[in-house]
Amino acid sequence: MTLFPDMLAPVMNASILGRAQKAGLLSWGAVNPRDFSEDKHRKVDDRPFGGGPGMVMMAEPLAEAIDSVKKRGSRVIFLSPQGERFDDAKASSLAKKKHLVLVCGHYEGVDERIMTSFDEEVSIGDYVLTGGELPALVVADAVARKLPGVLKKEEAAAAESFATGLLDFPQYTRPRVWRGREVPEVLFSGDHGRIAEWRRRAARSATRRKRPDLLERAN
């Protein structure tokens, strides 16, 4: 649900998400609340009661837009810095839903009375963007890659290693020496046991160094 539907297609139709749609694993669409404005100028925002700067999105166009797509089993989500923080666990739980309606706000926000139309309010982090489109794309991407079949087998295996709660182990590819820097010897040993053990240690040490907070939770 967005006033700027053109922002979505380049991201939604590229790369892995594009491939997933061709395979019939997911579909998406944009709905513009402006198409539901009752105003002859297609107005969707107005000045805040009580005064103050900026504009507020009106409840009615948004409500009509939501009703036009909502069905049994839809989960209606409002993206906002005031929401519950989005993370990998949230992505997994949303991936179980049949239909997500991601509502993108603009301006200073939306008329508070629309909030009861949302099942939940989600934030992608503590910073303020110009609109909810980038957060909606972040959620769509993170949820889509959880759907069965969306990732190739090798991509899914790599994803599983993050689900351990550790950062990824370091990866190397050709050439074997790049600007004088060598690839760790063990990776050429052909000993899959030793390689797996090295990767576990490397993942742990990268996590301890860069994200000690994750290690607390993994333990």
Q: Which residue has the tokens 């139709």?
A: 13
- Residue closer to ligand 4GX, measured from CB, 119 or 160: 119
- Residue closer to ligand 4GX, measured from CB, 82 or 93: 82
Query: Side chain identity at 102, as an amino acid letter?
Result: L
Tell me the residue nearest to ligand 4GX as measured from the CB: 109
- Residue closer to ligand 4GX, measured from CB, 122 or 166: 122
With vertex at residue 193, the alpha carbon angle to CA 189 and CA 198, rounded to the nearest 5 degrees, is 75
- Residue closer to ligand 4GX, measured from CB, 109 or 165: 109
Task: Write down the least CB distance from residue 128 to ligand 4GX, Å.
Answer: 5
Binding region for ligand 4GX (CB under 6 A): 79-81, 105-106, 108-109, 123-125, 127-129, 131-132, 135
- CB neighbours (10 Å) of residue 193? 8
> Who contacts 151 (Cβ-Cβ below 8 Å, separation ≥6)?
16, 145, 159
Task: Write down the least CB distance from residue 2 to ligand 4GX, Å.
Answer: 11
Q: Any alpha helices (H) in 74-132, and if so which ranges?
A: 88-94
Task: Return the SS3 of 57.
Answer: strand
Task: Write down the least CB distance from residue 81 to ligand 4GX, Å.
Answer: 4
Task: Write down the least CB distance from residue 4 to ligand 4GX, Å.
Answer: 12
Query: Side chain identity at 135, as an amino acid letter?
Result: P
Q: Which of 82, 96, 91, 90 minimizes the C-alpha distance to 132?
A: 82
- Residue closer to ligand 4GX, measured from CB, 44 or 79: 79
Task: Write down the least CB distance from residue 198 to ligand 4GX, Å.
Answer: 38
For residues 75 and 120, the answer to whether their CB atoms sit within 8 Å is yes
- Residue closer to ligand 4GX, measured from CB, 48 or 170: 48
Task: Write down the least CB distance from residue 85 to ligand 4GX, Å.
Answer: 9
Strand duo 120-123 + 74-85: pairing? parallel
Residue-wise burial string across 77-95, b where 16 or more C-beta atoms lie within 10 A, e elsewhere: bbbbbebeebeeebbeebb
